[in-house]
Amino acid sequence: MSLRKPTYLIAAAALAGIAVAGLSLRARSTEQSATATPATTAVKRGDFVRTVRLAGTVEAVQATSIIAPRLSGQNPNSLVIMRLIKAGTTVKPGDPLVEFDRQDQLRNALDRRAELVDLEQQIKKRVAEEVAARATDESTLKQAENAGEKARLELVKNPLIPKINAEKNTLAFEEAEARLKQLQETYELKRRAAAADIKILEIRRNRAETNMKQAESNAERMLITSPLPGVAVIKTTFKNGGNMVEFMEGDEVRPGQPVIEVVNPAVMRVRARVSPKVRNFIVLVLVNGAHPNLMPDLTASLDVELERVSGALVVPRDAIVFEGEHAFVRVQRGGRLERQDVSVGSMNTHEAVVTSGLQDGVTVARNAASVK
């Protein structure tokens, strides 16, 4: 028993030493954490800039929308896309973009041309008939005039011939005069009727010619080329159960429906909305330079410079602590951080301008509000 007692004492002493060492380590660790040096920064002069960030959408300055042509005349049917340029293709002025089925327009143009040729032949025939009829009527009218003149000359003999013969001459003259008058009236009516017939044929001919030209123009408008240099962007439409998909060859489109947009990526701009306290308005900001990934309809953010102060004494904004209307920073002097009252000017999200109370080159603490 006497031999084991010292062994217990030694073990107890060892355990006590370990416990004391552990307490010492924890206390030292706590002391080091409490006295950890806060982050600091040196005050220096520089350009202070205050900006406001706007959100907007990228758009092209030069852009045009290619729509399905609105055809002349009565063409209520939709158009079928036969050929369509691939999305993202770079195009030059005059390059084909989309071609619609033109068979109906070509067939219509041929029908109107055949109608036009037939009406022109009818007009020529009617004019020739009128020329012949006019010549015949003029000859008949001339004969009637001669007969009337002859009957008038016979009247001169009436005082010298028997009464019955004189009456015959008078009746012959009156008959010749009546026939001449009737022929003259008929002649004018025939001319007016012939002119009306020819006019109707000419109106029908002009209408057929107009319809033919409209059909030919419609056929030419089935192929649409690019009016400016740029990139082809295929429009989307609702189909397949309400899903938005790009147009493709074989699709039917309505006249006037946008199919392609050609944008010039060389000159882009951002359309942003500004919201002041009074009212909203739109600003357009031109983008300097170009980038292949800068395309229309992308979301963009831009910083608008509101204020710039050159050579200002600038400190991080978190280095300033505000107490009501007063502000101070914590300046490092020796191994300590001391409070220093300052006057603050303009501020932005990250920086502030110190107008008085601080000198260039002084070191101040960051996150000063949390420094004890």
- Per-position pLDDT tens, the chain of length 372: 333 333 322 223 333 333 333 434 344 444 444 445 678 999 999 999 998 888 899 888 888 899 998 887 666 678 899 999 998 899 999 999 999 998 888 888 899 999 999 999 999 999 999 999 989 988 888 888 888 888 888 888 878 888 888 888 888 888 888 888 888 888 889 989 999 999 999 999 999 999 899 888 888 889 999 999 988 989 888 876 678 888 899 888 888 899 999 988 888 889 888 887 667 888 888 888 777 777 777 888 888 888 899 999 999 999 999 998 899 999 998 888 999 999 999 999 899 999 999 988 899 999 988 887
Q: In 3D, which of 34, 48, 38, 32 has the Cα closest to residue 364?
A: 38
Main-chain phi, psi angles of 14, to 5 degrees:
-65, -45
Determine the pLDDT at residue 36. 58
Domain boundaries, the chain: 34-56+268-370, 63-101+222-263, 104-220
Own/partner long-range contacts of 178-187 (Cβ < 8 Å, ≥24 apart): 179/144, 179/147, 179/148, 180/141, 180/144, 180/145, 180/147, 180/148, 183/137, 183/140, 183/141, 183/144, 184/141, 186/137, 187/137, 187/138, 187/141
CA–CA dist 344, 327 (Å, integer)? 7
Backbone phi and psi for residue 362, each to the nearest 5 degrees, phi listed first:
-70, 145
Other beta carbons within 10 Å of 65: 12
CA 126 from centre of chain: 54
Per-residue pLDDT tens for 153-169? 888 887 888 888 888 88
Instruction: Give the SS3 label for residue 78.
Output: coil
Tokens of 195: 């002119």
Alpha-carbon gap, residue 257 to 224, rounded angstroms:
14
Using CA atoms, how far apart are residues 251 and 234, in angstroms rounded to an integer? 13
Beta carbons of 84 and 246 less than 8 angstroms apart: no
**Rounded Cα–Cα distance for residues 297 and 59 (Å):** 6
CA-nearest of 267, 259, 263 to 231 is 263
Q: What CATH number is given for 63-101+222-263 in this structure? A: 2.40.50.100
Contact 247, 235 (CB under 8 A): yes
Q: What is the pLDDT of residue 288?
A: 81
Of 320, 268, 262, which Cα lies nearest the Cα of 290? 268
**CATH of region 34-56+268-370:** 2.40.420.20
Buried residues in 161-171 as b, exposed as e (16+ CB within 10 A): eeeeebeebee
CB burial of residue 50 (10 Å; 0-12, 13-18, 19+): middle
At residue 203, what is the residue type? I
